[in-house]
Amino acid sequence: MQNKTQKYRRKFKNPIDIQNVTRRFSICSKRSSGKCRQNVTESILILNLWLPYIQLFDLFDLLLKSLLLSFFILIFQVSSNDHQSHSSLERFRSWPDTSRHHRNDLLRKWTEHKRTNSYSENRRSSLPFDLLTSTQQFKGCIDPSEPFQCPQSEHCIALQFICDGHPGDCPNNLDENEETCIAAKRPAKENIEKFLHAEYTLHGSKLFTFLFGEKLAKSIDENNAFWFDTLASAFSVAKTIRRFAEKTRMSSSDLAHFQSVLQLIHDGRLEEVPLYVQEAVNQGLASLVEKLYDSGFMDQ
């Protein structure tokens, strides 16, 4: 049997010869002669001989097909990603090329959306009257029973001790300082500054021209941050209107005009002032004027 196997191994050197064996097997299967039985025996030996090689060839063919399929899938993914990256890059590059009108329109929509979302949260704090009447927070004092921090010190005292006529509550008796006592009767400087800024945003320089005169209004237009701070400080600590005029460098004619305007607002003669002044009065200016009157601002 081993001799026959070696014989057929030499005879069939190529797997393609198996086709001849298969053809001979089909022909001989129709005959019943001894020669046919010999052919059947030969076919069985040949198949047993080449079967391991056939199975190995099928496995190699399957592995090759799998590798080719994986290779084509990888090429497709790389090509797709490259196309997407190219599209994203083109969209990014197209931004500077768009018209200025289109960019401005997008910026305007974003600003309006942001303003709309934040309006409901900031509505109360953005109203001029609310800015003027908001509670002053003392930064260095935690105990609510002693909320006032002494000037130039970390010492805190009760509000009743401010300007009570008794020295020693604050170092150097700064709680009995004249300007400190005046400021305690008026809205806080920070609140007055926010109120003036809000009124300027609503009415522009025309309101300040009517109140203080053209010279001071022009200075406010040129540097409103500085002048809002100066006006707020003067309103807060100036004992009288004349002292206010000195702090703001107001001319005598502008001082007389400012005094008459405050008198009109205090008396309620709003028909004698422009409409935008009437709006400012209703937005909190009347409250500020009353605080000034009550603290002796109009005294000579």
The domain boundary residue, chosen from 36, 55, 78: 78
What DSSP line would sit under 140-155, residue for residue?
Answer: S---TTS-EEPTTSS-
In a domain, 170, yes or no: no
pLDDT in tens, the chain (300 residues): 545 445 544 444 444 454 554 555 455 555 545 555 555 455 555 555 555 555 555 565 666 666 666 655 665 555 555 555 455 444 434 433 444 444 445 444 444 544 444 444 444 445 665 666 555 555 578 888 998 888 888 899 998 999 998 888 999 888 898 998 999 899 999 999 999 999 999 999 999 999 999 999 999 999 999 999 999 999 999 999 999 999 999 999 999 999 999 999 999 999 999 999 999 999 999 999 999 999 999 986
In a domain, 165, yes or no: no
Q: What amino acid occupies position 192? A: I
Domain containing residue 54: 2-78
How far are the Cα atoms of 66, 76, 82 from residue 69, in angstroms, in the given order? 5, 11, 20
- Residue 157 β-bridge partners: 148
The pLDDT value recorded for residue 92 is: 37
pTM score, whole prediction: 0.54
Distance CA 235, CA 241 (A): 9
Taking alpha carbons only, the member of 273, 264, 216, 220 closest to residue 244 is 216
In a domain, 106, yes or no: no
Number of structural domains found in the chain: 2
